[in-house]
C-alpha cells in the first residue's frame, strides 16, 4: 500500500472538535510507551509526523492523522502510566469511553501491545471492554524486531492466551523499525473501512518502502 499524502489534523478533547468530514476512523489504544506514535509514522511513511517521546503519558488528547484524504488514524492517550494523576486518568477515561461508544465514524480499534511481554492488566481490560461493546478490534503486536524470529510464534501465543484472544478478531505482527506488518495492517484497515471504496483506491498500490524507520518510541 502506498500513502502519498499524510497530515496531522487536530488534537481533540471532545466531540465538538472531531473532524466533520465523515471519513472512516481507526483508533489506536495501548499502554504508555508501547510505540503507537512510531507505528503511526511507519504506517503514514513519515518520520516525525506523530511525535515520539521517551516520556510516557505525553499524549493527552485524541490526535487525528489523515491518510490520503481517505481515512483517519486516531491516537489515544496511553494508559497505565502511574505518574498521571487520578483525576487526569479519569478525564482520559471519560473522553475515550465517550468516543468509543458514540463515534459513528469509528470502524476499527487497533489494540497495540508489546510482543516481548504478556499484555498488561490494562490491555486485557481494554480488550474485554471493546468486546463487551461489540467494537471491532485488531491486536497489533509491535516491536517484533526486538526478539528473534524463531521466538515469534511463542510470543504470539503468549499474547493471545493472556488477552483471551477471539479468533474472529484480527492480529498483526508489526515492527515500526523494519516495516514488518505494514502492508498487512493496511489491508486489515481497508477491510473494516470497506464503506469507502475511496480508501482502497487512495492507498492502493505497491509500497515503495521508506527506509527511514522511526527510531523513537512513544
Domain membership flag for residue 217: no
Percent of the residues in the chain that have a pLDDT greater than 90, as a whole number: 68
pLDDT of residue 93: 72
Q: Is residue 74 part of a domain?
A: yes
- Tell which wins on pLDDT, 83 or 29: 29
Please report whether residue 18 resides in a domain: yes
Residue span of the structural domain in which 88 resides: 6-202
Dump pLDDT digits (tens) for 80-128. Answer: 654 556 666 666 678 888 899 999 999 999 999 999 999 999 999 999 9
Task: Please give the distance of CA 70 from its chain centroid, rounded to a whole number.
Answer: 17
Q: What is the pLDDT of residue 1?
A: 62
Q: How would you class 85 by CB atoms within 10 Å of its CB: exposed for 0-12, middle for 13-18, buried for 19 or more? A: exposed
Instruction: Write down the pLDDT at residue 89.
Output: 61
- The owner of cell 473522553 is 95
The answer to whether position 12 is within a domain reads yes
| Residue 165 covered by a domain | yes
Cα–Cα distance, 78 to 122 (Å, whole number): 10
> What does the pLDDT read at residue 32?
86
Query: CA-to-CA distance for 144 and 34, rounded, in angstroms?
Result: 12
Measured CA to CA in angstroms, residue 131 lies from 30, 120, 127, 185, 187 at distances of 15, 17, 6, 20, 22
Judge whether 175 lies within some domain: yes
CATH number at residue 179: 3.40.50.300
Q: Which residues have C-beta within 8 Å of that of residue 47, sequence separation ≥ 6?
A: 41, 212, 214
CB burial of residue 150 (10 Å; 0-12, 13-18, 19+):
exposed
Q: Answer yes or no: is pLDDT of 214 > 60.
A: no
Q: What is the pLDDT at residue 201?
A: 47
Confidence class of residue 205 from pLDDT cuts 50, 70 and 90?
very low
3-state secondary structure (DSSP) of residue 66:
strand
Q: What's the pLDDT tens digit per position in 132-157?
A: 999 999 999 999 999 999 999 999 99
Report if residue 142 sits inside a domain: yes
pLDDT digits (tens, 9 = 90+) for 149-188: 999 999 999 999 999 999 999 999 999 999 999 999 999 9
- Nine-digit cell string for 205: 498500490
Q: Does the pLDDT value for residue 14 go beyond 90?
A: no
- Count of structural domains within the chain: 1
Neighbours of 140 (CB within 10 A): 27
Angstrom distance (rounded) from CA 115 to CA 163: 12
Asked if the structure places residue 212 within a domain, the reply is no
Amino acid at each position: 500500500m502506498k500513502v502519498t499524502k499524510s497530515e496531522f489534523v487536530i488534537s481533540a478533547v471532545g466531540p465538538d472538535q472531531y473532524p466533520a468530514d465523515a471519513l472512516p476512523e481507526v483508533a489506536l489504544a495501548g499502554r504508555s510507551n508501547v510505540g503507537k506514535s512510531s507505528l503511526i509514522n511507519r504506517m503514514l511513511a513519515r518520520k516525525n509526523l506523530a511525535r515520539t517521546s521517551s516520556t510516557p503519558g505525553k499524549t493527552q488528547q485524541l490526535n487525528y492523522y489523515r491518510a490520503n484524504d481517505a481515512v483517519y488514524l486516531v491516537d489515544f492517550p496511553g494508559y497505565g502510566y502511574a505518574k498521571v494523576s487520578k483525576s487526569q486518568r479519569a478525564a482520559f477515561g471519560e473522553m475515550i469511553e465517550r468516543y468509543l461508544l458514540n463515534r459513528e465514524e469509528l470502524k476499527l480499534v487497533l489494540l497495540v501491545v508489546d510482543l516481548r511481554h504478556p499484555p498488561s492488566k490494562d490491555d486485557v481490560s481494554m480488550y474485554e471492554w471493546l468486546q463487551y461493546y461489540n467494537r471491532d478490534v485488531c491486536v497489533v503486536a509491535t516491536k517484533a524486531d526486538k526478539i528473534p524470529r524463531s521466538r515469534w510464534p511463542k510470543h504470539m501465543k503468549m499474547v493471545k492466551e493472556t488477552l483471551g484472544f477471539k479468533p474472529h478478531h484480527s492480529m498483526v505482527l508489526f515492527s515500526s523499525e523494519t516495516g514488518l506488518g505494514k502492508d498487512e495492517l493496511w489491508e486489515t484497515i481497508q477491510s473494516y473501512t470497506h464503506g469507502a471504496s475511496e480508501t482502497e483506491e487512495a492507498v492502493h498500490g505497491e509500497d515503495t518502502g521508506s527506509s527511514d524507520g522511526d527510531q523513537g518510541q512513544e
